[in-house]
Amino acid sequence: MTSSAPASATLQGVALMTAAVACFAALDTMTQVVSGTVPVVLALWVRYLVQMVLTGTALLPKRGRALLRTSRPWLQAARAVLLLLSSLCIYFSVRTLPVGEVTAVTMLTPVVIALVAATALGEYVSWLRWGFLLLGFAGALVVIRPGASFAPAMLLPLGVVATNAAYQLITSVLTRTDGAGTTHFLTGCIATALLTAALPLGWTSHLGLTHWLLLGTMGLAGSAGHLFLILAYGRAPVGVLTPYLYLQIAFAMLGGWLVFGYLPDAWAVLGVAAIAVSGVGGTAVMAYERRVAVRAAVASAS
């Protein structure tokens, strides 16, 4: 019984992570649909307003003011701002690149997280892990392919990588101190407040019913995805969940094919494959090195 509980929690974490990346891929695909016609401030305002209202409706009657209590208010604020910046970068990225390729570049995030965590903890980073990181960046360059038609906006997916890495590291910390509901609700509240202040700059009354339905569905997908992400990190270690983040590439490419009829060319597939190998390989090497270090510590102690 003692071993089945952790195993069950890990399986739940994997299922929740898979559901989260499916929601994120759906959100990014719908973002590409509306990005040409809906102002970014309005689109993101609806997305975070839906998150705030849904979370508050579900949890405030049961928890009351306790839902607002946090031991890390500045971390909560930083998480919300980083997630909002990530959403902005994604919104403009999908105007330049297909959603599947934007997703592939953002999948450098787990490798960056692993290296930042290792650096912050003073952990030695082997040449093999650096090799996987360089492979991932090479894959990102192949996907973006800077050249004669290169535009600065094509670097926006790298902005998603930077903000996502910081956001996920903060999420991992907050799952140990604040509840998932508090974190999710406060993120929605802070982002909605910031976007409400900017809403006069991006309001339009010329949207049809289809656009409003898409915006509402985007809010549902984003809210569900981030809630699943928080719950997943609360049930399984980051190292176990990281490889499953790469399922988002498959979901995003499926969405690009179903909605836009887009199929990546051979170079894009090569770049995506390099990024996936980089992330999974780097995570596997890190896990192996940690196991070796633990065994060495146990052997020296005995």
**If the chain, 302 residues long, is cut into consecutive pieces of 10 residues, what is the mean pLDDT of each piece?**
58 88 90 85 89 86 86 90 90 82 77 69 69 78 64 76 85 79 88 92 80 89 84 77 78 85 81 79 74 77 69
- Taking the C-alpha atoms of residue 292 and residue 114, their distance in angstroms, rounded to an integer, is 17
Per-residue HEC secondary structure of the chain comes to CCCHHHHHHHHHHHHHHHHHHHHHHHHHHHHHHHCCCCCHHHHHHHHHHHHHHHHHHHHHHHHHHHHHCCCCHHHHHHHHHHHHHHHHHHHHHCCCCCHHHHHHHHCCHHHHHHHHHHHHCCCCCCHHHHHHHHHHHHHHHHHHCCCCCCCHHHHHHHHHHHHHHHHHHHHHHHCCCCCHHHHHHHHHHHHHHHHHHHHHHCCCCCCCHHHHHHHHHHHHHHHHHHHHHHHHHCCCCHHHHHHHHHHHHHHHHHHHHHHHCCCCCHHHHHHHHHHHHHHHHHHHHHHHHHHHHHHHHHHHHC
Give the torsion sign (CA, 151, 258, 88, 200).
Answer: positive
Query: CB-based contacts of 111: which residues, under 8 Å, 6+ apart?
Result: 132, 133, 136, 278, 279, 282, 283
Per-residue confidence (pLDDT) for residue 117, from 0 to 100: 65
Per-residue confidence (pLDDT) for residue 4, from 0 to 100: 46
Per-residue confidence (pLDDT) for residue 194, from 0 to 100: 94
Per-residue confidence (pLDDT) for residue 192, from 0 to 100: 93
- Taking the C-alpha atoms of residue 88 and residue 160, their distance in angstroms, rounded to an integer, is 9
Query: Could you give the angle at which helices 99-106 and 127-144 cross, rounded to 10 degrees?
Result: 160
- Taking the C-alpha atoms of residue 301 and residue 295, their distance in angstroms, rounded to an integer, is 10
Per-residue confidence (pLDDT) for residue 160, from 0 to 100: 87
Q: What is the pTM of this model?
A: 0.73
